[in-house]
Amino acid sequence: MSGSIEYRIRNAKVKCTGKLCRQVISYSEFTFFAINDEGGMILECESCKQILAVKMSNPVESSVLGAEKIDVFEGYDDAALFFKYGLVESDVIAVAGIEYKTAEKKPLGWPFGNVPIYFDNEVDFESLAFKELAKAATDLNKEFKNYVNWYVKGQDCKRIFVVLNFHSEGTGQRAIFSKNIEFEGQLNIKDLLMVHHSSADLSCNVDGLYSKDQCFVFLQKLLLRWMHIADSVLLVVPFVGYPYKGQAEKNVELWEFLDTHTDLKKTQVLTRKATFGLYRSSAATATIPYEVMEEWDFLPDLQKSLHESGKPFFQASHAKFYAGIFKGRVEVLSGSYNLHKGPSMENIVFRNYSTEEFANRYTDRLGDSFMVESEDDIPIYYFMVVDEKVINGERQPFSEFEKLYLR
């Protein structure tokens, strides 16, 4: 027999019973495979302070968002406790309002996809660099372990870089990997993403005709790069998916892709109003209606931000480009490619501009719509690897690191 207790977690949401209050309260419910305590929680709404009761199993273990758990009761009809909190029957929620799967953002992983962006002539630096990274794994993971102490004390370096120096056919190469740390368990080399390579010239490598599927992989790799090393990101994409029958699920997936590959704090997306309308109708077919998602606070961040009024997210033009904005320079992927998948061809090109050139040629012409906020100069931590061994680890402002290793 295993020593661990087996259980299942169900996530649910209920609405506050307070008059005119629209507060959505989320909670988790544990079900153990052995014995379960039936009962419920007494909650105080965060927004209107209304007291309400939710019947459930194992209330002690439950965690709550949107309200404070002030008491728990045993058995489903605890008259004494309801009386104590002045609860009437209508304040007691017998069944969960809505059940949902946790929308956890999975680690993204590197989308090799047989179309590298980091290459030179015939040499694919992506597979090469990931192989070299694997060779340094033992040493790197050891350093990550040492770094835990630092991290737990300071908690200020949430982005880690690995500067990987290696040799390929006699030539020195340098690949840069990055990852964001949200909890201690992530302090290892798993899910590192490649954000730069010293010998790859992206403006040579991404220029020509490609299938939509290939364009999608290029864009994916650039979004991962920009999420980790650009100050801000501007995505001008008039069309996402297709308005055809049977496409709803794919359309929703494309929006989810944008949501998981952007850091909204520093990203702006411009699209057509009709395109967002297509997302709403696709969501109604493929998942749950937009209005219900909104009502129950299920909307992904990006979609929520597009929905907020007063922001110029919508434009009528057919211009399409994707830009990673750095200090003093801008990387742009532009061409005929909208956010679609499929075998048919598109033309795209990757180019570098100075900030002024980019403003003159692109953003000034968008009018007032352009308003991306830049990421602050955050402290980062990096490990320097030379020939499979970590020789140094250092904390540094990101701007310094960028100057030294990312140009």
| Ramachandran assignment for 177, one of left (phi > 0), alpha (psi -120 to 50 degrees), beta (any other) | beta
23 lies in the site for Zn ion, by CB under 5 A? yes
Nearer to Zn ion by C-beta: 44 or 207? Answer: 44
Least separation, in Å, of the C-beta of 51 and Zn ion? 10
28 lies in the site for Zn ion, by CB under 5 A? no
Least separation, in Å, of the C-beta of 93 and Zn ion? 12
Question: Running DSSP on this structure, what letter comes out for residue 375?
Answer: P
Count residues contacting Zn ion (CB under 5 A)?
Answer: 8
- Candidates 11, 28, 36, 50; binder of Zn ion (CB under 5 A) is 50
Contact between residue 295 and residue 23 where contact means Cβ atoms under 8 Å apart: no
48 lies in the site for Zn ion, by CB under 5 A? yes
Options 12-20, 201-209, 288-296, 315-323: segment touching Zn ion (CB under 5 A): 12-20
Nearer to Zn ion by C-beta: 50 or 168? Answer: 50
CA distances from 182 to 141, 252, 270, 377 (A): 17, 26, 29, 18
Nearer to Zn ion by C-beta: 50 or 260? Answer: 50
Options 15-23, 98-106, 212-220, 259-267: segment touching Zn ion (CB under 5 A): 15-23
How many whole angstroms separate alpha carbon 125 and alpha carbon 311? 41
Structure tokens at 6: 């087996």
How many whole angstroms separate alpha carbon 112 and alpha carbon 126? 8
Nearer to Zn ion by C-beta: 23 or 198? Answer: 23
297 lies in the site for Zn ion, by CB under 5 A? no
Nearer to Zn ion by C-beta: 16 or 136? Answer: 16
44 lies in the site for Zn ion, by CB under 5 A? no
3-state secondary structure (DSSP) of residue 14: strand
21 lies in the site for Zn ion, by CB under 5 A? yes
Question: Running DSSP on this structure, what letter comes out for residue 266?
Answer: G
Least separation, in Å, of the C-beta of 255 and Zn ion? 31
Nearer to Zn ion by C-beta: 85 or 370? Answer: 85
243 lies in the site for Zn ion, by CB under 5 A? no
165 lies in the site for Zn ion, by CB under 5 A? no
How many whole angstroms separate alpha carbon 234 and alpha carbon 343? 26
Nearer to Zn ion by C-beta: 28 or 47? Answer: 47
Options 20-28, 69-77, 178-186, 341-349: segment touching Zn ion (CB under 5 A): 20-28
Q: Which residues of 351-379 are buried (b: 16+ CB within 10 A; e: fewer)?
A: bebeeeebeeebbeebeebbebeebeeeb
Options 10-18, 112-120, 336-344, 378-386: segment touching Zn ion (CB under 5 A): 10-18
Nearer to Zn ion by C-beta: 88 or 316? Answer: 88
- Candidates 16, 163, 306, 323; binder of Zn ion (CB under 5 A) is 16
Options 4-12, 46-54, 57-65, 171-179: segment touching Zn ion (CB under 5 A): 46-54
* Helix extents (H) in 66-136: 79-84, 125-135
| Closest alpha carbon to 233 in 352, 128, 371 | 371
CA distances from 91 to 17, 20, 59 (A): 6, 14, 17
The distance of Cα 251 from the centroid of its chain, to the nearest Å, equals 18
Structure tokens at 64: 């709550």
| Closest alpha carbon to 184 in 154, 139, 227, 229 | 154
Contact between residue 384 and residue 391 where contact means Cβ atoms under 8 Å apart: yes
Least separation, in Å, of the C-beta of 378 and Zn ion? 36
Least separation, in Å, of the C-beta of 9 and Zn ion? 25
- Candidates 14, 25, 42, 45; binder of Zn ion (CB under 5 A) is 45
Nearer to Zn ion by C-beta: 42 or 323? Answer: 42
| Closest alpha carbon to 390 in 170, 107, 234, 189 | 189
Contact between residue 285 and residue 251 where contact means Cβ atoms under 8 Å apart: no
Pairing of strands 159-168, 379-386: parallel
Pairing of strands 171-180, 207-211: unpaired
Nearer to Zn ion by C-beta: 52 or 258? Answer: 52
18 lies in the site for Zn ion, by CB under 5 A? yes
Report the interface residues with Zn ion, using CB under 5 A: 16, 18, 21, 23, 45, 47-48, 50
